[in-house]
């Protein structure tokens, strides 16, 4: 077997990212929960394979499939811009098991105020870790900014949940089951922009098609954050809308009336089933490497790009997750 050629572009995903199907296949691989089971040694081996290949050194005996596997293992655990290892529960491969547990509990324990507050707090704590771990760019964020985002999003989520709980207590019990979703949607609109506020202040890196960095853009940051908010809300819809409808029906049956302890695990299982598909499919709604026309950028950056690279009409950036 000959040595692997050096012309495989592992800077980009394996599948065509201009199509929804290609992006979906990519994110089904990225969000695979089995990546969480990989040891530190396996992650380090994959990182070495990828970094060596990018430097023009092919690991002896490696096949193309093994190279792509190493690339996806590397991508699942290391930040694309900073190269730092992402904390375990902040990785996209942790989205399904973590959200399955937290969302299932939010949907199960929605009747009493203390449990509503507790699970909204747990959810926003997890979201804060995910949003920081999957931010775009390599611009540092201060502890004060992190704290502000975390407190604001948690307060917003709890206030929304308790307010809607109070408004819906005289309505059908089914309506009350959807309060957690409304709170999560509201919190996403608060948490993500605040957790990534540094990007809104100084911008995120934009580059040409070859990956050459051209500057920082706040306009690109706004577009990327908006896309992430939409993706996160859509991701929550199946997991927080379908299980309540099913559980509302099942809880009226004798089977669950005689076994009420089955309610929570059944709800968590239903949420998990929805998230296995919703997480990668909603991540795939927008390209990870998003683009924006130079004409839509800030005047100063636009002038700078036209002066240095007059042929560039579109720039690219990592929108984050």
Task: Give tens-digit pLDDT for 138-183.
Answer: 666 677 777 887 888 778 778 877 887 777 777 676 676 777 777 7
Whether the model pTM is above 0.95:
no
- 81 and 130 in a common domain: no
For the chain, give the mean pLDDT: 83
- 157 and 60 in a common domain: no
- Please report whether residue 11 resides in a domain: no
- 135 and 199 in a common domain: yes
In terms of Cα–Cα distance, which of 125, 188, 123 is closest to 321? 188
Three-state secondary structure string covering 246-298: HHHHHCCCHHHHHCHHHHHHHHHHHHHHHHHHHHHHHHCCCCCEEEEEHHHCC
- Please report whether residue 10 resides in a domain: no
- 264 and 303 in a common domain: yes
Domain that holds residue 25: 20-85
- 253 and 104 in a common domain: yes
Total count of domains within the chain: 2
- Please report whether residue 8 resides in a domain: no
- 294 and 160 in a common domain: yes
- 254 and 124 in a common domain: yes
Q: Which of 29, 58, 85 is the last residue of a domain?
A: 85
Mean pLDDT within 203-214 = 84
Where do we find the tokens 């992006």? 23
Task: Give tens-digit pLDDT for 136-149.
Answer: 556 666 777 778 87
- Please report whether residue 78 resides in a domain: yes
- Please report whether residue 77 resides in a domain: yes
In terms of Cα–Cα distance, which of 36, 67, 37 is closest to 51? 67
Q: Which strand (E) or helix (H) includes residue 202? A: helix 197-202
- Please report whether residue 164 resides in a domain: yes
In terms of Cα–Cα distance, which of 265, 207, 168 is closest to 81? 207
Q: Which of 62, 85, 108 is the last residue of a domain?
A: 85
Integer Cα distance of 66 and 303 in angstroms? 44
- 81 and 96 in a common domain: no
DSSP reduced 3-state for 215: strand
In terms of Cα–Cα distance, which of 27, 49, 5, 3 is closest to 276? 27
Integer Cα distance of 48 and 64 in angstroms? 15
**What integer pLDDT is reported at residue 30 of this predicted model?**
84
Q: Within a 10 A sphere around the Cβ of 87, how many other Cβ atoms? A: 13
- Please report whether residue 168 resides in a domain: yes
Task: Give residue 313's pLDDT band: very low, low, confident or very high (50, 70, 90).
Answer: confident
- 245 and 223 in a common domain: yes
What crossing angle do the helices spanning 179-195 and 113-133 adopt, rounded to 10°? Answer: 30
- 99 and 61 in a common domain: no
DSSP β-bridge partners for residue 317: 290
- 80 and 168 in a common domain: no
Task: Give tens-digit pLDDT for 60-110.
Answer: 888 888 999 999 899 888 887 777 888 888 888 888 899 888 888 887 787
In terms of Cα–Cα distance, which of 58, 52, 47, 54 is closest to 84? 47
- Please report whether residue 9 resides in a domain: no
Q: Which of 65, 85, 105 is the last residue of a domain?
A: 85
Task: Give tens-digit pLDDT for 24-61.
Answer: 999 898 888 999 898 989 999 999 999 888 888 888 88
- 66 and 30 in a common domain: yes
In terms of Cα–Cα distance, which of 81, 225, 217 is closest to 140? 81
In terms of Cα–Cα distance, which of 251, 119, 244 is closest to 174? 244
């Amino acid at each position: 077997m000959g040595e692997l050629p050096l012309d495989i572009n592992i800077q980009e995903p394996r599948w065509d990212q201009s199509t929804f199907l290609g992006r979906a296949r990519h994110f089904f691989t990225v969000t695979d929960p089995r990546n969480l089971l990989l040891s530190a040694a396996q992650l380090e081996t994959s990182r070495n394979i990828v970094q060596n290949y990018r430097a023009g050194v092919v690991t002896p005996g490696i096949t193309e499939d093994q190279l792509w596997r190493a690339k996806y293992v590397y991508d699942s655990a290391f930040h694309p811009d900073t190269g730092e290892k992402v904390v375990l529960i902040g990785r996209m491969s942790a989205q399904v098991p973590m959200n399955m547990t937290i969302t299932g509990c939010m949907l199960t324990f929605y009747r009493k105020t203390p449990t509503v507050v507790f699970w909204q707090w747990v959810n926003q704590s997890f979201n804060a870790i995910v949003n920081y771990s999957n931010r775009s760019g390599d611009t540092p964020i201060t502890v004060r900014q992190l704290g502000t985002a975390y407190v604001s999003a948690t307060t917003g989520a709890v206030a929304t949940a308790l307010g809607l709980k109070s408004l819906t207590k005289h309505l059908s019990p089914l309506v009350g089951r959807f309060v957690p979703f409304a709170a999560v949607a509201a919190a996403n609109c608060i948490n993500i922009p605040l957790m990534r506020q540094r990007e809104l202040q100084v911008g995120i890196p934009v580059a040409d098609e070859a990956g050459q960095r051209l500057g920082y853009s706040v306009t690109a940051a706004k577009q990327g954050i908006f896309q992430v908010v939409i993706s996160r809300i859509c991701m929550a819809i199946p997991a927080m809308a379908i299980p309540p409808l099913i559980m509302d029906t099942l809880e009226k049956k004798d089977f669950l009336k005689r076994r009420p302890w089955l309610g929570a695990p059944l709800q968590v299982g239903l949420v998990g089933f929805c998230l296995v598909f919703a997480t990668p499919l909603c991540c795939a709604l927008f390209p990870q490497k998003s683009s924006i026309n130079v004409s839509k950028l800030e005047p100063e950056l636009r002038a700078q790009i036209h002066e240095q690279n007059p042929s560039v009409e579109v720039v690219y950036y990592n929108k984050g997750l």
